[in-house]
Structure 1
Amino acid sequence: MRTTLWLLSFCLIGACTTSSKTENTSMETPEKGTFGYDLDFLQKRDHDVAVLSSDDSTSQVIVSAKYQGKVFTSTADGMSGRSFGWVHYKAFDGQPDAHMNAYGGENRLWLGPEGAQYSLFFKPGAKMEFEQWHTPPAFDTEPWHVTSKTAQSVVMDKDMILTNYAGTTLQLKIDRSVTLLSREEAASRLNTSLANNVKLVGYQTDNSITNSGSTAWTPKTGAPCLWMLDMFVPSPGVTIVIPYEEQATGNVATTDYFGQIPPDRVTYKNGVLYFKADGKSRGKLGIPPKRAKPIAGSYDADNNVLTLTLFDVDKNATYLNQEWKLVPDPLKGDVVNAYNDGPLADGSQMGPFYEIESVSPAAFLKPAEKLTHKHAVFHFTGEKSQLDAIAQKTLGVSLDTIQKALK
């Protein structure tokens, strides 16, 4: 009897010890910079956050309808893998910002234009300066609605009523879906082959705007556009790469959105533009429709990460000017943009982060008409030689060329 009781006691103690170890392990805080850390952080602020996942859980994407349908981040290597999106942790606490609540996110949907005669960020007649600049709450702070969700996709929508700088009231509906792509789908979209040990995560966003009002949007009333912005984590070794049409006429790029970008930070040659994205010097550039190609990317040499974005481009469409001023022709704007964050004049800084952006044509829509813009994001990690093959196939340049472009 004593032997039986001793064995029972031993088993119970052993069971309790094992359970305690499992519980402690599961409660350990993931390392900052990993996907698990960002997921833990975001789930505490959005209990309904969607996590799209591959069958083996290596490729995962975090999407939040509460935070305006943002793709916050992704990983190619599970919970302990690198988190590719920039998350602005400080923005989630405290009072809302009057100008912009920069929660971060490696893919967010805004509506443009930001500036010029049809601006959605300045009230009619307001001076186009920072104190008067306000991001509309509908895509800054208000939650969106989930209409359907699966293990690999989530579909959301949002009804909005906005007023532009021209004084026009725009009644509209946004529909947005985010779909995790399989390895085969990613390779097919990029028209490239992938070595077995290359790790990747890829997803596509389908975004549409519908005129849900009773008045047509015209050059007189002004019109919005869909605007996709991808916020990523910078490092001293990150270079943004934007292929362009070398034979087209006109400027290759506008490089003075926020003052002229220094020549040691941007250059272009042989149909490819290179832009340093270290998060240490604020600058933005844009590629016009005739020059734009439907792809842009970046290479992080410090962490050996290749990022690619694919998006719709219509060279014959009208794109809106987004500069913070009244311009001679508000119907002449850029298609692809890139931004490197850096300190402001007073030394303060929101980031650091960098962005790759794409915009749709102007949505000159009659009532009930719809315009759609697709934008996909891919991240790759693996041996440099394997990533080099992908870069040469998609961007048209080698990783060594990218690394040496601004040296």
Structure 2
Amino acid sequence: MITARSDSSVTFSQNVETENYSGTVFKLEIDRKIILLSDVQVKEETGIDPEGINFVAYRSENKLTNRGSDEWKKETGLLSIWMLGMFIPSPAVTVVIPVRQGEEKELGIEVNDNYFGKISGDRLKISGRNIYFRADGKSRGKIGISPQRATGLMGSYDFENNILTLLICKLPEGKAEYVNSAWQIQDNPYSGDALNSYNDGPLEDGSQMGPFYELETSSPATALKPGESLIHSQVTIHLTGDKKLLNQAAVKCFGVTLDVIEGIFK
């Protein structure tokens, strides 16, 4: 339900009651505000001056409130806010995700690619500080970046249409427990990833949901007392235009040129 609107924003609200696999009933309120961003706000968010570049940018502010009479507890299940940005796939689209550098024994693996089976090397590569993932909508697969590795930045580049997409999510400090979203019974349900990317593809029976690809962010799993709220925000920016200016943006965000991104799977 729309609860407010202006020339640059719209706010939605919905009351929900749902039950998890363990039988815990959650009564909650979901509020979401979408805000179009100006060139000044884009520069504040990214450090990139968008002058001379065509762009669409928006912030998604999401709030989850416990409207029940019981506190949410780890033992009976917690909720998180999971945002899925769904985009048009193409053989020309590559997802780029910077990760924190460091020893695996301290930070864990750089990328989790075992959601729907391991992903082959012609679709997933690690080079320098970046994870590269092919987003062509032709092979179903999903990758995840743990909160220990995530920088809060991810994006993609479509070199045929010359579109650079950025997704920015400021992750809370010291929050390591994220919902494990693998489709299976969980031994450790709070060992999930903070950032994900999904590439759609045909199922075994030949059917397909999309095609599409996704850039995803999640909030930590949070124990909320009645009336308490969890807030999770992210910014999505689509840039196109002068390739020289887009290249400067890519180097600033990902530390590599557009030519590197374009050629990573060639």
4+ aligned runs moved over 6 Å, structure 1:
none
Matched residues in 1 for 2:212 and 2:12: separation?
26
Task: Report what 1:268 is aligned to.
Answer: 126
Matched residues in 2 for 1:241 and 1:286: separation?
12
The one-letter code of the counterpart of 1:175 is D
1:210 is aligned to 2:65: yes
**DSSP-derived class of the 1:394 partner:** helix
Q: Give unpaired runs (5+ residues) of structure 1.
A: 1-144
Which of 11, 36, 59 aligns to 1:180? It is 36
Identify the range of structure 1 (308-317 vs 166-175) with the bigger mean alpha-carbon deviation.
308-317
Higher helix proportion, which one?
A: 1
Task: Report what 1:356 is aligned to.
Answer: 215
1:171 is aligned to 2:27: yes
Shift of 1:347: 1.5
Instruction: For residues 158-177 of structure 1, give each alpha carbon's deviation from its aligned partner in whole angstroms, at most 9, with x where no partner exists.
Output: 11111011110001111110
The one-letter code of the counterpart of 1:380 is L
Identical positions, percent: 44
**DSSP-derived class of the 2:81 partner:** strand
- For the 8 Å contact 1:225–1:320, the answer to whether it is kept is yes
- For the 8 Å contact 1:290–1:315, the answer to whether it is kept is no
The one-letter code of the counterpart of 1:154 is V
Shift of 1:269: 1.9
Computed over aligned residues only, the root mean square deviation of the Cα atoms, in angstroms, reads 1.1
Matched residues in 2 for 1:352 and 1:325: separation?
24
1:336 is aligned to 2:195: yes
Shift of 1:190: 0.6
Task: Report what 1:293 is aligned to.
Answer: 151
Shift of 1:343: 1.0
Matched residues in 2 for 1:326 and 1:344: separation?
21
Matched residues in 2 for 1:147 and 1:363: separation?
26
Q: Give the TM-score normalised by the residue count of structure 2.
A: 0.96
Task: Report what 1:346 is aligned to.
Answer: 205
Matched residues in 2 for 1:331 and 1:380: separation?
35
Task: Report what 2:248 is aligned to.
Answer: 389
Matched residues in 2 for 1:371 and 1:294: separation?
18
Counting only pairs closer than 5 Å after superposition, residues 1-400 of structure 1 correspond to structure 2 as: 145-194=1-50, 196-247=51-102, 249-314=107-172, 316-317=174-175, 318-400=177-259
Instruction: For residues 208-234 of structure 1, give each alpha carbon's deviation from its aligned partner in whole angstroms, at most 9, with x where no partner exists.
Output: 101111100111121111000011011
Matched residues in 1 for 2:86 and 2:200: separation?
10
Matched residues in 1 for 2:43 and 2:102: separation?
28
Matched residues in 1 for 2:138 and 2:44: separation?
36
Matched residues in 1 for 2:117 and 2:76: separation?
30
Matched residues in 1 for 2:145 and 2:203: separation?
24
- For the 8 Å contact 2:84–2:217, the answer to whether it is kept is yes
**DSSP-derived class of the 1:321 partner:** coil
Q: For the pair shown, which has the larger CA radius of gyration, 1 or 2?
A: 1
Matched residues in 1 for 2:243 and 2:28: separation?
45
- For the 8 Å contact 1:168–1:221, the answer to whether it is kept is yes
Higher strand proportion, which one?
A: 2
- For the 8 Å contact 1:289–1:314, the answer to whether it is kept is no
Instruction: For residues 55-113 of structure 1, give each alpha carbon's deviation from its aligned partner in whole angstroms, at most 9, with x where no partner exists.
Output: xxxxxxxxxxxxxxxxxxxxxxxxxxxxxxxxxxxxxxxxxxxxxxxxxxxxxxxxxxx
Work out the number of aligned pairs and report it.
Answer: 262
Shift of 1:315: 5.0
Q: Give unpaired runs (5+ residues) of structure 2.
A: none
- For the 8 Å contact 2:39–2:49, the answer to whether it is kept is no
**DSSP-derived class of the 1:225 partner:** coil
Matched residues in 2 for 1:353 and 1:232: separation?
6
Matched residues in 2 for 1:274 and 1:362: separation?
27
The one-letter code of the counterpart of 1:240 is V
Shift of 1:396: 2.0
Q: Give the TM-score normalised by the residue count of structure 1.
A: 0.63
Shift of 1:372: 0.3
